Structure 1
Amino acid sequence: MPPETPGLHHVTAIAGDPQRNADFYVGVLGLRLVKRTVNHDDPETYHFYFGDGEGTPGTNITFFPWRDRGRAGQFGAGQTQCVAYGIPADSVDYWSSRLADHDVAVKRFERFGEAPERASGDEPPAEEVLQFEDPDGIGLELVASDGPTDAVPWADSPVPERHQLRGLHSVTLAVESVEPTAELLTELLGFEHEASAGERHRYRSATGEFASVVDVVETDRGRGRTGVGTVHHVAFRVEDFDALEAYREAYLDWGLRSSVIIDRKYFHALYAREPGGVLVELSTMEPGVTADEPLDGLGESLVLPKELEGERGAIERQLPPFDGPPVPEG
């Protein structure tokens, strides 16, 4: 069996206008643009990475902005319904006010908590959630959580350090039937069932505490359609290339089709669709986002993989206008 994954590495979604995308994730949510590159498989499209102060695996949400060339997506089975970030437990009021000040409609409610009793039939303790959408309709949540985090504060964030996002908390996967997805999570990826509340079933990595939660819900909607406003894939952390090789063999044993292992410059990646239809990536921890830029210069200029550097002029001419993220105040 391959080694268990400690949790989430990143989430990749499809946006519309690149400027609006950066204005929201930097200017409103306070994340750092840690990488400005292109989709290696479609170099006419930007690929933005937003994360903590150092682009730590487990804090990043990335986007392919499809402005003027992408159809609208349609949510359905086989897709990620929500991407959740953790926030300090005493920051809920701050974030509720901040989002309202930026005209973001927010639903505030309670859901089961961080450490429910696994063997008990009692309803697990509540966690406070702020639920909203980004400008393209991506479902987002901020979850009050004082659990461990690997997130590194960003000194230039418009959000005060004590209220900054603490890395990914969880993803919610929507599928036609929970059981096949749950089996993959528990039997192959190393997650354990932690709690169920209504139609929501929570799984947590057996080896991880940070960015280690996957919620699975059933939907009676048909299969979703990839496009602007949908999540493209969810990536989980693995230690190294050898772990990817082990997973590739395990996928074959499970009868799942996977990609070859691909060098994405900042990590190596392996892709497969889990039984419920969600595209899942396994990504190595190294070499990280500082592979081609210094830490203090992350995201300030367009970086390209070596094989595309000779086409830089043509690529830059075809990319949509982008002025960069909002300039930090002060």
Structure 2
Amino acid sequence: MQLKGIHHVSAITANAKNNYHFYTEILGMRLVKKTVNQDDTSVYHLFYADEVGNPGTDLTFFEIPNAGTTYLGISSISGTSLRVPTNQALEYWNKRLDQYNVDHDGITMEGKRQVIHFRDPEKQRLTLVSDEDNKGVAGGRPWSKSSASIEHGITGLGPSKLTVENPTPTIQVLTEVLTFKQVDRYPSSIKGQEDIMVFSTGEGGTGAEVHLEVRNDLPRERPGRGSVHHVAFRVENKDELAKWRERLQAERIPNSGLVDRFYFQSLYFREPNGILFELATDGPGFATDEEVEHLGESLALPPFFEDQRKEIEAKLKPLDTKR
């Protein structure tokens, strides 16, 4: 069994309308699915991705209207990165972020890669990372109707950054339970802190990494709007996912068991520092219940919620996503 890389990242927003505007109109990503949080159908779950919602390209958001401020800290997924094709693409994005008054740090280096760290309007911690020298997992393809440059567009998810105080148990889960190996390290931007460790799985490269940051100067994070809920890793299919469940049980790691999310099958568990991991299958995908040309334009509900459509729609604020 081998994890194939990052599958998706799910974060929290307090305002679906503003969130939709930022990720589609400014970042140029495609909304490939407008659905509901299956654990709380009174709120939206929005999926932004590449042209067709390929695995490894979707950044998702649960809308929690009363979500408070995030207080940054340890035991958190403290950074989400988005891949762009080249260093030249970062030059384009540097100007575009300025154009839209997006808070960012300009082009810098992170290890051997050029990046731009930036924040969305809710202070979601994001990074654009160049795939200039990527030799690992291939990216997706930017949406052909993107509001941003297709040539320089976002092609998927890059490394997720985890921040912990004690790295040992997290490393043990990544390397001894999952299929990650430490492949690199680079200096922290925070004075006096340890190097950030790079772990990779599958074919490796930008789309298959977890970066582990150790901080001894922060309290535990209190999540809210602009925080990340969980990171999911790619599994080939449902049969392999069942084997992962057996592996977690053998390691006596509490887990959710197999969960049918309709667009993929899932398995959830927390590593010892409390960070929520998901294993998710590559299929069946987002075109299961909508034509590719019209992904994300209307409210999509898995079959097991279809008989509740009228009640669900009555609780949701209208969100116009017709293109």
What is the TM-score of this pair, normalised by structure 2?
Answer: 0.92
Pick from 182, 191, 208 the counterpart of residue 171 of structure 2.
182
What residue is the counterpart of 2:111 in the other structure? 112
Structure 2: gaps (5+ residues): 188-194
Pairwise CA distance, 1:23: 0.4
Q: How many residues align?
A: 310
**Residues in 2 aligned to 1:71 and 1:239: alpha-carbon distance in whole angstroms:** 36
Identical positions, percent? 36
Q: Which residue of 2 aligns with 1:120?
A: none
User: Residues 6 and 209 of structure 1 are in contact (CA less than 8 Å); yes or no, is this contact kept in structure 2?
Assistant: no
- The answer to whether 1:205 aligns with 2:201 is yes
Q: CA deviation at 1:206?
A: 4.1
Tell me which amino acid in the other structure corresponds to 2:111: F
Compute the displacement of 1:219 (Å).
2.2
* Other-structure match for 1:124: none
Deviations 1:291-320 (A, max 9, x none): 111111100100112222122122112112
- Assess if the C-alpha contact under 8 Å between 2:29 and 2:142 holds in 1: no
* Structure 2 CA distance for aligned equivalents of residues 222 and 248 of structure 1: 32
Alignment of 1:132 with 2:118, yes or no, is: yes
Letter in 1 for 2:70: G
Q: Give the RMSD, CA atoms, in angstroms.
A: 1.5
Deviation by residue 1:232-289 (Cα, 9 ceiling, x = unmatched): 0000000111221221122122231100100001000000001221100000011001
2-structure distance, mates of 1:96, 1:152: 20
- Give the conservation status (yes or no) of the 8 Å contact 1:91–1:163: yes
Written as runs of structure 1 = structure 2, the 5 A alignment for 1:1-330 is 3-67=1-65, 69-87=66-84, 88-108=86-106, 109-113=108-112, 127-146=113-132, 147=134, 149-198=138-187, 199-209=195-205, 211-220=207-216, 221-324=218-321, 327=323
The one-character-per-residue Cα deviations of 1:174-196 (angstroms, maximum 9, x if unpaired) are 11122221221122221111111
- Assess if the C-alpha contact under 8 Å between 2:83 and 2:139 holds in 1: no
Which SS does the other structure have where 1:270 is aligned? strand
Alpha-carbon contact 2:118-2:127 (below 8 Å) kept: yes
Which amino acid in the other structure matches residue 9 of structure 1? H
- The separation in 1 between residues aligned to 2:184 and 2:111, in whole angstroms, is 8
Name whichever of 314-323 and 90-99 sits farther off: 314-323
Q: Secondary structure at the match of 1:285?
A: strand
| Counterpart code for 1:211 | G
Alignment partners' CA distance in 1, 2:161 and 2:222? 17
TM-aligned CA deviation for residue 161 of structure 1: 1.4
* CA distance in 2: counterparts of 1:272 and 1:226, whole angstroms: 18
> Any stretches of 5+ residues in structure 1 without a counterpart?
114-126
2-structure distance, mates of 1:58, 1:321 = 29
CA deviation map 1:153-185 (0-9, x unaligned): 311001121100121111100111222212211
Moved over 4 A (4+): none
Structure 1 Cα separation of the partners of residues 266 and 178 of structure 2: 15
Letter in 2 for 1:58: G
- Whether the 8 Å contact between 1:79 and 1:175 is mirrored in structure 2 is yes
Q: For 1:195-217, what per-residue CA distance to the aligned partner results, in whole angstroms no more than 9, with x for missing partners?
A: 11232111111434461011000
